[in-house]
Structure 1
Amino acid sequence: MGPRRDFWRFAWANGITQLGTQVTVVALPLTAVLTLQAGAFQLGVLSAVQMAAFLVIGLPAGVWVDRWRRRPILVGADLVRGAALLTVPVAAWLGVLTMPHLYAVALVLGVGTVFFDVAQMSLLPVIVPKERLERANGRLEVTRQVSVLAGPGLGGWLVTGFTAPFALLADAVAYLASGLLLAGVRAGERPAAPAGRGRWRAEAGEGIGFVVRDPVLRRVAIGGALTRVALGVCAVGYPLYLVVDLGLDATRYGLLLSASAVGALAGAVVAARVAARHGLGPTLYGSALLTAALQLPALATGPGWRLLAFPAASALAAAAGTVFNVAQLSYRQRVTPERLLGRVNASMRFLMWGAMPLGGLAGGLLGEWLGGYGAFAAGVATLGLSYLAVITAPRLSRTRSG
């Protein structure tokens, strides 16, 4: 019962954290827009600051995760992020909340997320056998997507009922609950012995080198970087177009964003079975092709049609995208030696998520120059194009990876 109990604690912590995070996805930018009257460029900076940690400390984080035990890293990251979020409603209550304060909180959230995500992906293969990774990753996605499905709608309701700054209390509580669950995980992990001083660059280079030499991981990293640029643009374009231009209230905005979670939940349920039937290589190729094609309907002509097409396209694309994500993560965990997992996971996050601040800044500039719909359309179109790196792989569709 021990390993099974550990996995479900791990899975529930993942789901609870994601529930709170999705509340913050709605409440943090709306705190800037509705409470502080932030403009498009300030929203872009807020998005960029939160993602900057992946670029600045992404690689060192992988080295540290491979040197230390991963469970305490997860617990510490939850507690730090929860404490940072608590300062927002306190500052709002005292009347001293400012944009620099939000930038600082976003930076702390980003740093905590870097360490949490790298440690989480590296701890899972210690908790479950490699032959069950697809199933375990699929179950993690199910719990995560249930949270993602409920989170934006809950976030919109909390913003409407309690104002945006106080809605962030929900995420702070979620981080505390996640930390308590993870503190009870008893994984038998053995971190690598610390290397000599000054060795971290060489150790980080091992992770980058492993990714570059593997043709599948290399293409996934390229596509992932473009995807994160697109998401950074969308983080600015969505609220500008849907809330400012079209006048949606916070509740409807949150519910609209929840549409993608419906599709992602369906994708998470079937991902392990699809990979088992077709192999990881064909699953990666086919899901990438579907995800790219399904972005196009969101650009339907006319605001009324877009409000119908956007959630439908988001749901279908998210279903295919989630199958892709489960397959690529399972492939990575299968082919990477345990001693390198932290560095390879960090390298993938560095290469992919490190590009997201550029998307946030680009979204802010596009919003200023082209308006809300310009940023919205640019983000959606770039999402579709980002999967070309995988789609154009010459033999991936015939490779039964893993």
Structure 2
Amino acid sequence: MKRTGAIGRRVPPLLRDQGFRRYWTGQTVSLVGDQISLIALPLAAVVVLGADAAEMGWLKTAELLPALLLNLPAGAWADRQAHRRRIMIFTDLARAALLFSLPVAYALDALTLPQLYVVALGVGALTVLFEVCNVVVFAALLPADRYVQGNSLVNGSRSMSWLGGPGLGGVLVAVLSAPVALLATGLTYLFSAERLARIAPAEPPPAEPEPGHFTAGIRWVLANPPMRAFFGAVATLQFFNFIFHTLFVLYATRELGLSAGMFGAVLSVAAVGGLAGAVGSGAVVRRIGIGPSIVLGCAAFTLPLLLVPLAGGPTGLVLTLLFVAEFVSSAGVMLLDIAAGSLQLALVPDGLRSRVLGAFRFLTHGFRPLGAVAGGFLGTFLGVRPALWIGTAGAALGTLWLLLSPIARIRDLPSAPAVQSETPDAAPATTPDAARGS
């Protein structure tokens, strides 16, 4: 079977391509804006409006609910649209308008918590719609042999936003106030819209109406051996990792005695690790192949976190263990995201991309609240450290899904399936034998 050949050779820098460069710069700037809003929106609720714990819980629910409820229908709808890029531009403009309403209301002394809830819910819903269209536009911009390089650049930008975005958001909040700082996020969405307006990818035609259109993405994921294994791995990671994240701050500050500054330093090291993973992922994939890179990324993401419940003793030793755990884990998750994202792009037929992404996120996001609830339960009845052992050890089991699947044997990206192929049986590139590297 014909292969892309991208794994075994270097390709010219992707940023020489004007269309991708415009797309990438728009995404890079808007990712920084996302990080600013993650700081500014809750601070607006707490500092300006005096929100209590219950009200903050409602705000977080408004942010997360669209990802759980809308990914599946949004993916089904997006696959039947002819102009996904235009939809992305609309969502950027609409998100900017919602965020701009907050400083306006603040200036008029009319800002309320219900308005924050509506904005958080609206921005979350529009972001879901943006992402299910984005996967199609990204694939249309690049040939298959550039997927790894393109994903490396986008994920590198994401790591940079994690590194600098919260600090920039904190400065803007301190200087301008939280509601006014959200103007910056709105402006980044306007910039993204302008960049998208200046590219013209050859988007695939919309999917034709068919029986079972709404559930086609779920059926495709579950019927495709590599994707089914990856879903099992990610579901396991999501559940156990949210046990970990539910308790990590409490454990680090109360049981390990870290100050806010020390904990912030740990998170900064994690961001640096993510950037290192994004930069080095292309070389790793070329060296060992796409499937082994996915397995390595999953193992590197999960196993180092076992050092967290192991941490104890002098503060210097505790920080060293946490630095190592967060740096290596963040590098691993970047390698996992880049390699797995590239393989998914190569496996999924054009006419199913939005539905598969929406279905995959619907399935995996459902494990997040379950993990958070389990983390609170285990932390209460077993103690925080034992619960962290369960969370970190359980997440490491996700690697077994990949080791026992066809993914571990895939060396090169398979050729893209035909546009009209919308089931595993109709897409030869997605079968275990065809997807396996030579």
**Which TM bucket (shorter chain)?**
0.7 to 0.9
For residues 137-168 of structure 1, what are the alpha-carbon distances to aligned partners after superposition, in whole Å with 9 as ceiling and x for unaligned?
A: 11222223222221111122223333333322
Offset at residue 51 of structure 1 (A) = 1.9
Higher helix share: 1
Alignment counterpart, residue 176 of structure 2, candidates 154, 162, 166:
162
Report which stretch shifted further, 391-400 or 118-127: 391-400
- Partners of 2:100 and 2:410 lie apart in 1 by 48
Aligned residue number for residue 223 of structure 2? 213
Aligned residue number for residue 356 of structure 2? 344
- Partners of 1:380 and 1:397 lie apart in 2 by 27
Q: SS at the partner of 1:204?
A: coil
Q: Which runs of 5+ in 1 are unaligned?
A: none
CA distance change for structure 1 residues 254 and 17 in 2, over 3 Å: closer, same or farther?
A: farther
Asked whether the equivalents of residues 211 and 217 of structure 1 are also in contact (C-alpha less than 8 Å), the reply is yes
Is residue 173 of structure 1 aligned with residue 187 of structure 2? yes
Is residue 117 of structure 1 aligned with residue 131 of structure 2? yes
Asked whether the equivalents of residues 231 and 360 of structure 2 are also in contact (C-alpha less than 8 Å), the reply is yes
Q: Which amino acid aligns with 2:312?
A: T
Asked whether the equivalents of residues 78 and 175 of structure 1 are also in contact (C-alpha less than 8 Å), the reply is yes
Any residues of structure 2 matched to 1:383-402 within 5 Å, and which? 385-392=394-401, 393-395=403-405, 396-400=407-411, 402=413
Offset at residue 235 of structure 1 (A) = 7.2
Aligned residue number for residue 285 of structure 2? 275
Alignment counterpart, residue 113 of structure 2, candidates 92, 99, 102:
99
- Partners of 2:391 and 2:105 lie apart in 1 by 37
CA distance change for structure 1 residues 345 and 154 in 2, over 3 Å: closer, same or farther?
A: same
Alignment counterpart, residue 142 of structure 1, candidates 156, 161, 164:
156
Alignment counterpart, residue 344 of structure 2, candidates 311, 315, 332:
332
Asked whether the equivalents of residues 54 and 354 of structure 1 are also in contact (C-alpha less than 8 Å), the reply is no
Percent sequence identity over matched residues? 32
Any residues of structure 2 matched to 1:235-254 within 5 Å, and which? 248=260
Is residue 259 of structure 1 aligned with residue 269 of structure 2? yes
Q: Which amino acid aligns with 2:37?
A: T
- Partners of 2:378 and 2:180 lie apart in 1 by 27
Alignment counterpart, residue 62 of structure 2, candidates 36, 49, 67:
49
Asked whether the equivalents of residues 236 and 398 of structure 2 are also in contact (C-alpha less than 8 Å), the reply is no
Is residue 290 of structure 1 aligned with residue 286 of structure 2? no
Asked whether the equivalents of residues 227 and 386 of structure 1 are also in contact (C-alpha less than 8 Å), the reply is yes
Offset at residue 228 of structure 1 (A) = 4.3
Asked whether the equivalents of residues 295 and 381 of structure 1 are also in contact (C-alpha less than 8 Å), the reply is no
Q: Which amino acid aligns with 2:329?
A: A
For residues 292-331 of structure 1, what are the alpha-carbon distances to aligned partners after superposition, in whole Å with 9 as ceiling and x for unaligned?
A: 1122333423795656654543222111110000111111
Asked whether the equivalents of residues 80 and 208 of structure 2 are also in contact (C-alpha less than 8 Å), the reply is yes
- Partners of 1:366 and 1:31 lie apart in 2 by 30
Superposition CA RMSD, Å: 3.4
- Normalised by the length of structure 2, the TM-score is 0.78
- Partners of 2:392 and 2:179 lie apart in 1 by 30
Rg larger for: 2
Q: SS at the partner of 1:258?
A: helix
Report which stretch shifted further, 390-399 or 79-88: 390-399
Asked whether the equivalents of residues 306 and 392 of structure 2 are also in contact (C-alpha less than 8 Å), the reply is no
Asked whether the equivalents of residues 51 and 354 of structure 1 are also in contact (C-alpha less than 8 Å), the reply is no
Q: Which amino acid aligns with 1:109?
A: V
Q: SS at the partner of 1:32?
A: helix
- Partners of 1:366 and 1:172 lie apart in 2 by 38
CA distance change for structure 1 residues 167 and 309 in 2, over 3 Å: closer, same or farther?
A: farther
Asked whether the equivalents of residues 47 and 357 of structure 1 are also in contact (C-alpha less than 8 Å), the reply is no
- Partners of 2:177 and 2:244 lie apart in 1 by 23
Q: SS at the partner of 1:186?
A: coil
Does 1 or 2 have the higher relative contact order (CA < 8 Å, sep 6+)?
A: 1
CA distance change for structure 1 residues 104 and 184 in 2, over 3 Å: closer, same or farther?
A: same
Alignment counterpart, residue 101 of structure 2, candidates 87, 90, 102:
87
- Partners of 2:121 and 2:388 lie apart in 1 by 23
Offset at residue 85 of structure 1 (A) = 1.8
Offset at residue 355 of structure 1 (A) = 3.7
- Partners of 2:51 and 2:243 lie apart in 1 by 16
- Partners of 1:179 and 1:136 lie apart in 2 by 19
- Normalised by the length of structure 1, the TM-score is 0.84
Aligned residue number for residue 65 of structure 1? 78
Q: Which runs of 5+ in 2 are unaligned?
A: 1-13, 414-438
